[in-house]
Each structure stands twice: as structure tokens, then as C-alpha cells.
A and B are shown apart, each in its own frame.
Chain A
Amino acid sequence: QKEVEQDPGPLSVPEGAIVSLNCTYSNSAFQYFMWYRQYSRKGPELLMYTYSSGNKEDGRFTAQVDKSSKYISLFIRDSQPSDSATYLCAMGRNTGGFKTIFGAGTRLFVKA
């Protein structure tokens, strides 16, 4: 079983739609939960991170973490064509050594 599972997509939505991206993970030791955005042929860029369970909002983006279900989500409101990218979920810990694992990424296309 992979430590993190992420649907690769692609996910295609019309402009203005609400997008929901999700990941599941298996190791309950992770403390930090991140979402990165990666444009084609570029390096990943950090969108947001949360510590432990709960919600975090940043503009049009909302991250949710449910540690009891080992499930994390990213919601994008009022999606724009510029949001078209691959979104990587990630989990990390710094106890027992530095470790961050990444999902394989979901490709998102937002059509104008």
C-alpha cells in the first residue's frame, strides 16, 4: 500500500466552478499537511499548509484535514484558467527524523 494516494485525474472543470482535490494517507505520525501547485515544466510551489486537523482558508483556497479518516482536501472556489496545473498533496513530520512524502499529483484543467 502506498503511503499516500492521490487520483491523477485529469480533472476538467469550467471557469468559475468549485474544485475539490483529495488525498488519503496511511501513516498517522504525520503532523503537517501541505498542498503544492506545479505548472508544466516548473518546480512545485507551496500553496498552503496546515498543522494537525481542521480547516485553513487563504483567498479562494481552503485546505481541510481529517486525521481520524486520514483524508485531506483542497477546495478551489471560483476557479480560473490560471489555476490549470498539477496539484500535489504532501505530508510531513519532524519527529524521528525529517520526512515529507508527496502524492503523485492531480492534473487540473480549468476551461474558459
Chain B
Amino acid sequence: NAGVTQTPKFQVLKTGQSMTLQCAQDMNHEYMSWYRQDPGMGLRLIHYSVGAGITDQGEVPNGYNVSRSTTEDFPLRLLSAAPSQTSVYFCASSPRGGGPYEQYFGPGTRLTVT
């Protein structure tokens, strides 16, 4: 199993551009989440999904959209990039019942917005 994969690894955007961060998992996990990690702030939940077709907002959802059409994929869309969205983004997945405590993280995407 590849586990949780994320693409791209690095990205530089200009203010106002849009892009999609990709996340896929091959563990048949029901839960998937997106976090951002900033220095001194810890991981903060952006959006999460408890199954295909079901998504909900986390702690810092503004400026981001998600959808989940399949169990495997959970893309994160930045609608109009801002410098405040410069961060490292992690996708995570959890098996049924393990959502809050058994999360498997991808390698991350480092995003810089200029």
C-alpha cells in the first residue's frame, strides 16, 4: 500500500491564482481530512469528510473548498490564493471508528503564495 499520497510536493502561487492540492489513499479509509501547519500554531483542521459525498468544515475553512466523489480521493481547492495561505498542507485518513485518534498523514505540500 502507498498509504496517503499528496501532490504536488511544492508549489508557488501568485496572489489571486487558484489551484487544487491532490490527496489520495489506498487503505479504504472512510474519514479524510485536510490540515494546515504553521510555525507555532500546530495542525489546524480545514475540512474533513466522513465518507464519499459528505464533507464538513473544520476550524479554518475560509478560502478553501473540498469535495469527495470517491472513497480514495479528497482534493483541496484554493479559490483565490492569498499570502496568508502560505503553509504546509497535510492530508490524513482514518478507518471507520478511528476518525479522531487513528489518523495517517501524507507527506505534505509546501505552498508559498507571493
Question: Which residues of A are in contact with B by a Cβ distance under 8 Å?
Answer: 4, 6, 8, 31-32, 34, 36, 41-46, 49, 51, 88, 90, 92-94, 97-105
Judged by DSSP, the binding face of A is strand
Chain A residues near B99 (CB, 8 Å)? 92, 94, 98, 100
Shortest A87–chain B CB gap in Å is 12
B100 partner, pick from A42, A43, A94, beta carbons under 8 A = A94
Q: How many residues on B have C-beta within 8 angstroms of the other chain's C-beta atoms?
A: 25
Chain B 28-55 interface residues, beta-carbon cutoff 8 Å to A: 31, 33, 35, 40-45, 48, 50
Inter-subunit contact B100/A31 (CB<8 Å): yes
Shortest A3–chain B CB gap in Å is 10
Inter-subunit contact B43/A44 (CB<8 Å): yes
Q: How far is A34 from B106 in the complex, measured between Cα atoms in Å?
A: 18
Inter-subunit contact B56/A103 (CB<8 Å): no
Q: Which of B33, B42, B100, B104 has the most CB of A within 10 A?
A: B100
Judged by DSSP, the binding face of B is strand
User: 8 interchain pairs (CB within 8 A)?
Assistant: A42-B107, A44-B105, A45-B105, A88-B42, A94-B99, A98-B50, A100-B99, A101-B42
Inter-subunit contact A32/B100 (CB<8 Å): yes
Inter-subunit contact A104/B41 (CB<8 Å): yes
Given contacts A90-B101, A98-B100, 6 further A-B contacts (CB under 8 A): A42-B108, A46-B103, A92-B99, A100-B103, A101-B42, A101-B45
